């Protein structure tokens, strides 16, 4: 009896240490605690029922998540650990998908692919949450891992809304295009209110060419807005590799490169419009 009480006390001490380390961002300490104490892998350390892995994902610690998963995957209870839900029913993959971290989504889903179909208390899957929050890259990553057949069962929540409803409601039209390319059957699907994605689209004036009459200069600007042709995208394996700090700090191609090119094209576009 005393031994059991002592074990519980030791466990509480370790959990408190794990909590403090995670809250203070001392992630190397968290990794060491995970290595030395298998029993804390399933420990919920916050009032909202989060494990240390939940906290690491929420803090966007992709490299730490990868390290913790490597530790867990070598243990017998790997499935039980990865399926742990917080008080909202979210697994670590729900959180990674909501944040749009393709690196963490790939890392977690590779460890347990069935987690893509896990549902929280609102009956939302990680695939659904990626669409709900407009995280196109994370959505494509998860979709290609689970495949079309399983994806069809993961794309609707308890109020009848589908991933296409959510993408259009959030005005994530590039994501909506990707969804339609994959799940053509969702175009005519209706939710509990009897609304289809097309009904929602009809209420989004920003999705259509403006019917307003502009002055000549405003008209030039309107016509000079560059819109890329939409094409079905695929998951790029190299983009899901967890990058080092130096790689993120000094990318090969700056993000504003295309913006500079578009700016230089403006005079030519304006001249073309003026000359008819």
pLDDT tens, residue order, the chain (276 aa):
446 777 788 889 999 999 999 999 999 999 999 999 999 999 999 999 999 999 999 999 999 999 999 999 887 789 999 999 999 999 999 999 999 999 999 999 999 999 999 999 999 999 999 999 999 999 999 999 999 999 999 999 999 999 999 999 999 999 999 999 999 999 999 999 999 998 988 887 665 555 455 565 555 544 555 556 556 666 555 555 544 445 555 555 555 555 444 544 545 454 454 455
Tokens of 120: 């929280």
Give the pLDDT of residue 273.
Answer: 45
Return phi, psi of residue 123, to 5°.
65, 30
- Model confidence, pTM: 0.77
Q: How many C-beta neighbours within 10 Å does residue 57 have?
A: 30
Longest dimension (CA), the chain: 91
Cα-to-chain-centroid distance, residue 240: 12
User: Smallest Cα–Cα separation from 223: which of 234, 236, 214, 233?
Assistant: 214
User: What is the pLDDT at residue 64?
Assistant: 98
Question: In this structure, what DSSP letter does residue 225 have?
Answer: -
Query: What's the DSSP call for residue 144?
Result: H
* CA–CA distance, 50 with 66 (Å, rounded to integer): 17
In whole angstroms, give the CA distance from residue 224 to residue 208.
16
For 156, list phi and psi in degrees, rounded to 5: -135, 145
pLDDT reported for residue 190: 94
Give Cα separations from 100 to 85, 130, 215 (angstroms): 19, 7, 40
The beta strands (E) that lie in the chain are given as: none
pLDDT of residue 231: 61
pLDDT, position 136: 97
């Amino acid at each position: 009896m005393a031994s059991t009480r002592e074990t519980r006390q030791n466990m509480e001490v370790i959990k408190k240490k794990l909590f403090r380390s995670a809250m203070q961002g001392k992630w190397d300490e968290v990794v060491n605690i995970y290595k030395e104490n298998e029993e804390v892998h399933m420990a919920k350390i916050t009032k909202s029922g989060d494990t240390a892995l939940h906290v690491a994902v929420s803090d966007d610690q992709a490299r730490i998540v990868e390290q913790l998963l490597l530790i867990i995957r070598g243990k017998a209870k790997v499935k039980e650990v990865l399926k742990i839900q917080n008080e909202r029913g979210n697994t670590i993959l729900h959180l990674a998908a909501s944040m749009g971290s393709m690196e963490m989504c790939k890392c977690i889903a590779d460890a347990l692919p069935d987690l893509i179909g896990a549902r929280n208390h609102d009956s939302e899957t990680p695939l659904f949450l990626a669409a709900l929050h407009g995280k196109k890259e994370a959505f494509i990553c998860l979709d290609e891992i689970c495949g079309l057949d399983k994806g069809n069962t993961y794309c609707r929540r308890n109020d009848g809304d589908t991933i296409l409803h959510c993408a259009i409601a959030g005005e994530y039209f590039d994501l909506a295009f990707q969804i339609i390319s994959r799940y053509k059957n969702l175009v005519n699907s209706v939710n509990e209110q009897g609304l289809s994605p097309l009904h929602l689209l009809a209420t989004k004036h920003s999705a259509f060419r403006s019917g307003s009459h502009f002055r000549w200069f405003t008209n030039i600007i309107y016509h000079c807005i560059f819109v890329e042709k939409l094409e079905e995208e695929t998951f790029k394996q190299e983009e899901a590799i967890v990058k080092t700090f130096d790689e993120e700090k000094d990318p090969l191609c700056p993000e504003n490169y295309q913006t500079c090119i578009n700016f230089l094209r403006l005079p030519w576009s304006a001249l073309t419009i003026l000359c008819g």
